[in-house]
Amino acid sequence: MSLGSIRAVLTWICIALLISVPIVIAAQSPLLAWRRPVYIVAGFAGIVGMAFLLLQPMLAASMLPGLGGSRGRSLHRLVGAGLLVAVIIHVAGLWITSPPDVIDALLFTSPTPFSVWGVIAMWALFVTTFVALFHRKLPGWRRIHLSLAIAIMTGSIVHAMLIEGTMEPTSKAMLCAAVFLATFIGIFGARRARRSWLRR
């Protein structure tokens, strides 16, 4: 096996562990025993959303082995749609279990700081979806998209880290740190790839 193949395998193993370990540990949390099924689904939709956030910048910047170029960009759009669905399920589930809390969060009147960061990330994601759908009509849409990506990443990480729930703290912190690094490395990688493409 070549060095490149070994590197590719190790990369995918690391990504699989970063995504699966927090989910598996959260699924064993004793707190789930007192939660309604819809609340559990909403919570795990949030965890899946964080996993999608890890993949998004790496797909955009062709950082994942075997998923470069147009294939990576196509999956970037698909995973983006999955992220949007995960966030909608997350918020909808919380709305079903406790509408007043969701209303307070949306109005930025919630006493819990994590709600504010979650709502910021959610609205940034909605605006990003609009930009992605109508980018051909928006001048400078790439800069807007990257700025919103940073807002989504920041809001999501702070939101997740402030919540004391079913996610185990260490695995959650590792996933959030990976999302942070992937976002900034992906942004610089995407810019570098863009400049290289323009020079051709």
Residue 121: pLDDT band with limits 50, 70, 90: very high
Per the domain annotation, does 195 fall within a domain?
Answer: no
Collapsing DSSP to helix, strand or coil, 133 comes out as helix
Within a domain: residue 196? no
Q: How many domains does the chain have?
A: 1
- Give the integer Cα–Cα distance in Å for 21 and 58: 20
| 197 lies in some domain | no
Residue spans of alpha helices (H) in 32-68: 37-60
Exposed / middle / buried, residue 198 (Cβ in 10 Å: 0-12, 13-18, 19+): exposed
Is residue 39 in a domain? yes
User: Which tokens hold the place of 12?
Assistant: 């995918």
Q: What is the pTM of this model?
A: 0.88
Q: For residue 12, what are the domain limits? A: 3-190
Is residue 155 in a domain? yes
Q: Longest C-alpha distance within the chain, in Å?
A: 59
pLDDT-based confidence at residue 192 (cuts at 50, 70, 90): low
CB 89 within 8 A of CB 130: no
Which tens digits make up the pLDDT trace of 143-184? 888 899 999 999 999 999 999 888 999 999 999 999 999 998
Three-state DSSP state, 4: helix
pLDDT at position 139 is 83
Domain-embedded: residue 200: no
| Residue 177 counted as domain residue | yes
Q: Is residue 199 part of a domain?
A: no
